[in-house]
């Protein structure tokens, strides 16, 4: 009877540990996937608009023109932006693209 109790206890502990890992890992990986998707969409929108990193930064915060950086190769770097800022930038780029399409 003690062996069965020990096995049941070990199984419950392992399930709780796996549940904890899953509860931590899923949101982390989901945010990474969402972040990559937003950055890809922003870069795609910006291909037609050709905005500089400073102009894109000012779309997020007019008083801080240094939120989006460009490295030596001209590749845009979004490492300092939160998901909310990335969503706002995507929304602003979509509005600009729609306004240019109307003209």
What is the residue-level pLDDT of the chain in tens, covering all 103 positions?
678 888 889 999 999 999 998 998 899 899 999 999 999 999 999 998 899 889 999 998 888 888 888 888 888 888 888 999 999 999 999 999 999 888 7
Burial 63-101 (b: 16+ CB within 10 A, else e): eeeebbeeeeeeebebeebeeebbeebbebbeebeeeee
Q: What is the pTM of this model?
A: 0.75
DSSP codes, 19-61: HHHHHHHHHHHHHHHHHHHHHHHHHHHHHHH---HHHHHHHH-
| CA–CA gap between residue 60 and residue 79 (Å, rounded) | 14
């Amino acid at each position: 009877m003690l062996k069965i109790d020990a096995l049941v206890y070990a199984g419950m502990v392992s399930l709780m540990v796996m549940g904890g890992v899953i509860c931590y890992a899923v949101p982390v990986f989901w945010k990474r996937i969402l972040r990559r998707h937003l950055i890809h969409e922003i870069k795609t929108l910006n291909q037609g608009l050709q905005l500089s990193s400073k102009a894109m930064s000012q779309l997020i915060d007019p008083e801080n023109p240094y939120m989006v950086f460009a490295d030596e190769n001209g590749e845009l770097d979004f490492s300092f932006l939160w998901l909310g800022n990335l969503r706002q930038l995507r929304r602003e780029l979509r509005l600009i693209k729609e306004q240019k399409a109307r003209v």
